[in-house]
Structure 1
Amino acid sequence: MKTETLITKLKAIYDEILRLEPLSEAISKTVHPDFRPSSRNLIRYLVLRDHDLRKLHDPLSDLGISSLRSAEGYVLTNLHRVLHLLHLLENKPWPKRKEPSIIGYEHSKYLIRTHSNLLFNRPPSFNTHEVMVTMPEEAADDLQLIEKMASNGMTIARVNLSHGEEGMWLAMVENIREASRKTGKDLRIYMDLAGPKLRINFPEGVKSLPIREGGTFALHKAPVDRNAFDKARAAEDGQLPVPVQLSIPGVIDALQPGDQVFLDDGMIHAIVTESGGETAVVKIVKTFKSRLKPDKGMNIPDTVLKLPSLTDRDLETLPFVARHADLLGYSFVNSEADVANLYERLDSLEEAKPGVVFKIENQNAFNRLPMILLEGMKHNRIGVMIARGDLAVEIGFNRISEVQNEILWLCEAAHVPVIWATQVLDTLAKKGIATRAEISDAALSVRSECVMLNKGPYILDAISELRTILGRMESHSSKNRNALRPLRIARKNLEFLEGTPMAD
């Protein structure tokens, strides 16, 4: 490609960014002062990624010029300098003009580091990855376990409010604070709001249920009678649907025949065959497990739901979170309106405000991520968690790598720290030995600011191994380089910002 052609194509993108600067400036005035440059860079990045840049990279590299592959954090500066160099090669003047507020490479690194320090409540000198670990139930009684976790490299203790009750959570908090004092390690506490998570409930005392392909469940709104449950399990032909209760009864009204149902992080795939009234029947079409335990999650990606991101239970536990947590995980956030609602609730409390992490767990949240970020930027302690378990089931396992990359890019453009979560070194934590794929995945997590491990009997080994991997990769990697095809999410959010409603 000729240099003149490169100039023409890049100049068109540059001019489009400048055209939207009044909008960027107006939006920047609505966010927290700490995020004003970042909000403008995010909008510039949306403009950049609305274009197909793939054919520009190789010609730029041949000329020894940046190929825009790592421009997320400083879009306009990068583009400006590339155009300047191209003009010099053509012996053409690059006209001096009053440029809008710009961010350079070093400033972009400073912003992401500063925002990370604010979110994670850590000193400016901190220069490595956070390691978050989910607390097992025994952490409420076993202080030494938490001390060992801290000594092995854990910096953030995660208390999952989807399980247990306030007494257990408080005991965990007290042990975490004591472990921090005794070890001299700066442990911070992260708490997940449960959110509208769909779960399957069995009658009391039932520990697991045998399942097979072709078997059926009857999802009930009301608690299930144990006799009816046992009768269905004992049916010789296996065709009598086993009755189970759905944790959010109103969802049954939204289910339609043909809707897909996934259980236990996608390990069980079923289809709705009947719906109406108090129940819906689903048939298992594929399973990778022979038994289903109670309280496992359920995903219904085909079904349109209108559920509030903050449930009644979340609102009840919010004061406890504000009193005891350094970080709050906002589960199943769907839109910028959900973000505004959470902060309105937090502002009504007298307690200190924890940092807020937006958990991206479904298609809606991913589609509206730029808007969620801009709304969150009205406050200065925010982050994003790539909740890869629910997200993979919702969008499809074949898309999770692509989508997690897009989330990383958008957050880097916004200078918002990212938590890399779900099944990191999971086999190691549970069985004592890691798979090769897990090691590769853990190495990729260096692109985030924090990595989350789940619980398991070998969790101490998993923490140590993750620290080793991150320590080695930190000297090799800093964020990413990519081909940069046009992103649909960029176009949709630009249309929304410019006043055209964004279709769901």
Structure 2
Amino acid sequence: MRFSKDKLQEILTALNSIIETVYEFEDKYESQLRSVHPNYAQSAKNLVHYLALRSFNINILQQKLEDTGLPVTLESQDNILLSLIGIRAIVYSLLDYRLVAEDEIVMDNQRVRELQEQNSMALFGSINEKRRTAILVTQPTEAAINEDFVKTLLKQGMDCARINCAHDDETVWQQIIDHIRNNAEDCKIMMDLAGPKIRTGKMKPGPKVIHIKPKKNPLGQVVEPAKIWLAPYGVRPPKDEDVDVVIPVNKKWLRKTKKGSYIIFRDSRNKKCTIHIESKEDKGRWASCKDSAFVTSETVLNVFLEKKSRREIHTLHELLPLDEVIFLFEGDFLRLDKNEILGEPAIYDDEGNLLEMAHISCTLPEIFDYVKSDEPIYFNDGKIEGVVREIHTDHLIIEITGAKKKGGKLKADKGINLPNSVLGLRGLTEKDKEDLKFVAKHADAVNFSFVNSKEDVEELLVEIKKLKAELGIILKIETKEAYRNLPGILLKAMENFPVGVMIARGDLAIETGWKNFAIIQEEILQICNAAHIPNVWATQVLENLAKKGIPTRAEITDVAMAQRADCVMLNKGPYIVKAVRMLDKVLRKMQRIQKGNITILPKLEFSENL
């Protein structure tokens, strides 16, 4: 096969230019490279080499390599200089040029694999021997009160555990950690600092009511009764059991009931309804109801302990108020309050005229000084879209421009995103600094939320140094600014060991725009590969399965893609154990044909009788 000398000379010229730039970038970032932890000396240098490579339009060179038919590419990010020198050596040989020995000591690919394994092990610990990708599971409050639940997660494939400091308190965190350590001393524990996350404020308490809803078909016919757990306060349903409604009742009369007992009552609409006791389990009872009913604390229960005989009259325990909800439709207006005013839905008169606009407060009122008119605003992970129409000293008026046809639901503690606003939110909050004291004593790594710049990382490093802690850092990349500053953020963070990156896809997708998100996600993976920094694929992984018990096809495809990361994170949900089991299976199967971003080609298993 003959190669065009002109084409080869063009390729050689391009390669020499890139390699020269690689050395220039080393000089340019010399001070940062000298500052990194010794374990990252070679990795940080390769990251700088990658930045040098990406300062060129590599597509042109790639196309020329393809046109010559040379079986070489520049797709690998983890050993840039070796790839460049290797391709140049091939071109030298084809041009019959004398190969000059390289003075630069270049690490080989075996060393790269050792670094990648070392960095991943330091952050995620020992991973299931049958799997290359770690599974990180967000711990619900149940993990603090139910050690068996933690045992089950570990058995199904959890490699490391995540605790979010935005929820619960130190007592609960400690109980979760104790349960994990009791069953797996080596299980790495990561704790999220809440960061300056903008959220909706508190709502007015809603009604104290329980809605019993049997499953119905499109014709409104009941196809499955509601599954009810009757029990005293604090007695939860057995783990892994599906339940539609939990109703708190007095234990004295409940323990007299048995299979065949039933309860007749009139709900808040005066509709006659019946609950049938199906079985007993520990201190609770499983029951069913084919009626749609609204039960309040005043509901009178006629309890028939035996068929058509003994009857007792009882009431429910005092019910907790439901969370109030604001339903928002396209074209509606919402008032976002600067002060801590309890949120309420819109109020209308009997003719449907608006008397008072729906309103809710914001947890970070300082953002009001930075928001501009006509900027977009998103609520609840982008499920509700709006535009800032009016700016007042104590509130904003938002026009809703996108929501579900049946109305977008807005509750307390839901995220608010202002992707086009420069909000001046920086670094650690006072709560973060207080929580960090606990994290430094009890966790293996801190998940740094809403990091935006190398200055933010510097602040965290200073606080960790003050605490004299040896703590891993996982940088949560969830803003447009963080993505743009990622190389600088990484080089600063690499002064610590170990370091990782979490692709926090929920906020990041909203901040960067849906149309841009796929390529940004890919770019983050490539930058992490170049720095030999392990990364975490996070947000909404198998979310439908974890919350509803059934995965979507898109979720399974997403998990298959997630195998390219070093770790996959699951959020909590009623079916989290099932989700861990499914994730473990899919990851183990996918690694047979994919290793990171490299496709593996095992023997095909199709029939030979074509």
How far did 1:269 drift?
A: 0.1
Equivalent pair of 2:338/2:394 in contact (CA under 8 Å): yes
Deviates more, 1:394-403 or 1:473-482: 473-482
The CA distance in 1 between the partners of 2:589 and 2:62, in whole Å, is 29
Equivalent pair of 1:68/1:78 in contact (CA under 8 Å): yes
Q: Deviations over 1:334-359 (max 9, x none)?
A: 10011010010111114x32211000
Give the SS at the match of 2:476. strand
How far did 1:253 drift?
A: 2.2
Counterpart residue identity of residue 380, structure 2: D
Q: 1:220 aligns with which of 327, 337, 361?
A: 337
The CA distance in 1 between the partners of 2:84 and 2:543, in whole Å, is 41
Q: Are 1:278 and 2:282 counterparts? A: no
Distance 1:433 1:191, change over 3 A: same
Q: Are 1:475 and 2:592 counterparts? A: yes
Q: Are 1:69 and 2:75 counterparts? A: yes
Q: Deviations over 1:375-420 (max 9, x none)?
A: 0111121100000000000001111110011111111111111001
Equivalent pair of 1:216/1:240 in contact (CA under 8 Å): no
Counterpart residue identity of residue 420, structure 1: W
Which residue pairs with 1:291 in the alignment?
Answer: 409
Counterpart residue identity of residue 511, structure 2: E
The CA distance in 1 between the partners of 2:420 and 2:23, in whole Å, is 40
Equivalent pair of 1:253/1:276 in contact (CA under 8 Å): no
Give the SS at the match of 1:22. helix
Taking the TM superposition and a 5 Å limit, the aligned residue runs for 1:284-363 are 284-288=400-404, 289-350=407-468, 352-363=469-480
The CA distance in 1 between the partners of 2:552 and 2:91, in whole Å, is 47
Q: 1:432 aligns with which of 525, 534, 549?
A: 549
Q: Which runs of 5+ in 2 are unaligned?
A: 207-322, 600-610
Higher helix proportion (structure 1 or 2): 1
How far did 1:305 drift?
A: 0.8
Equivalent pair of 2:384/2:402 in contact (CA under 8 Å): yes
Give the SS at the match of 1:94. coil
Give the SS at the match of 1:203. coil
Give the SS at the match of 2:44. helix
Taking the TM superposition and a 5 Å limit, the aligned residue runs for 1:91-130 are 91-99=96-104, 101-122=105-126, 128-130=132-134
Which residue pairs with 2:307 in the alignment?
Answer: none
Q: Deviations over 1:166-222 (max 9, x none)?
A: 2222222222222326xxxx3221110000111112334241222222222211122
Which residue pairs with 1:136 in the alignment?
Answer: 140
The CA distance in 1 between the partners of 2:36 and 2:431, in whole Å, is 30
Q: Are 1:155 and 2:159 counterparts? A: yes
Q: Are 1:202 and 2:205 counterparts? A: no
Equivalent pair of 2:15/2:88 in contact (CA under 8 Å): yes
Q: How many residues align?
A: 472
Equivalent pair of 1:273/1:281 in contact (CA under 8 Å): yes
Counterpart residue identity of residue 540, structure 2: Q
The CA distance in 2 between the partners of 1:81 and 1:127, in whole Å, is 32
How far did 1:239 drift?
A: 7.0
Equivalent pair of 2:124/2:159 in contact (CA under 8 Å): no
Higher strand proportion (structure 1 or 2): 2
Q: Deviations over 1:98-128 (max 9, x none)?
A: 12x4222222221111111122244998972
Q: Are 1:233 and 2:233 counterparts? A: no
Work out which of the two has the higher radius of gyration on C-alpha atoms and give 1 or 2: 2
Q: Are 1:55 and 2:60 counterparts? A: yes
Equivalent pair of 2:334/2:357 in contact (CA under 8 Å): yes
Which residue pairs with 1:187 in the alignment?
Answer: 187
Counterpart residue identity of residue 79, structure 1: L
Which residue pairs with 2:366 in the alignment?
Answer: 250
Distance 1:239 1:52, change over 3 A: farther
How far did 1:480 drift?
A: 2.2
The CA distance in 2 between the partners of 1:219 and 1:97, in whole Å, is 63
The CA distance in 2 between the partners of 1:168 and 1:125, in whole Å, is 31
Counterpart residue identity of residue 114, structure 1: Q
How far did 1:51 drift?
A: 1.2
The CA distance in 2 between the partners of 1:104 and 1:65, in whole Å, is 19
The CA distance in 2 between the partners of 1:36 and 1:344, in whole Å, is 21
Give the SS at the match of 2:397. strand
Distance 1:124 1:151, change over 3 A: closer
Which residue pairs with 1:169 in the alignment?
Answer: 173
How far did 1:55 drift?
A: 3.0
Distance 1:121 1:348, change over 3 A: farther
The CA distance in 2 between the partners of 1:24 and 1:277, in whole Å, is 45
The CA distance in 2 between the partners of 1:82 and 1:412, in whole Å, is 20
Equivalent pair of 1:117/1:124 in contact (CA under 8 Å): no
Greater relative contact order (Cα < 8 A, sep 6+): 1
The CA distance in 1 between the partners of 2:180 and 2:204, in whole Å, is 32
Counterpart residue identity of residue 99, structure 2: W
Give the SS at the match of 2:481. helix
TM-score (norm 1): 0.89
Identity of aligned residues (%): 35
How far did 1:95 drift?
A: 2.1
Distance 1:33 1:7, change over 3 A: same
Q: Which runs of 5+ in 1 are unaligned?
A: 483-504
The CA distance in 1 between the partners of 2:542 and 2:567, in whole Å, is 14
Give the SS at the match of 1:394. helix
How far did 1:94 drift?
A: 2.5
Counterpart residue identity of residue 50, structure 1: S
Deviates more, 1:191-200 or 1:89-98: 89-98
Distance 1:264 1:408, change over 3 A: same
How far did 1:478 drift?
A: 2.4
Distance 1:114 1:124, change over 3 A: farther
Distance 1:123 1:255, change over 3 A: closer
TM-score (norm 2): 0.74
Cα-Cα RMSD: 2.1
Give the SS at the match of 1:328. strand
The CA distance in 1 between the partners of 2:55 and 2:61, in whole Å, is 14
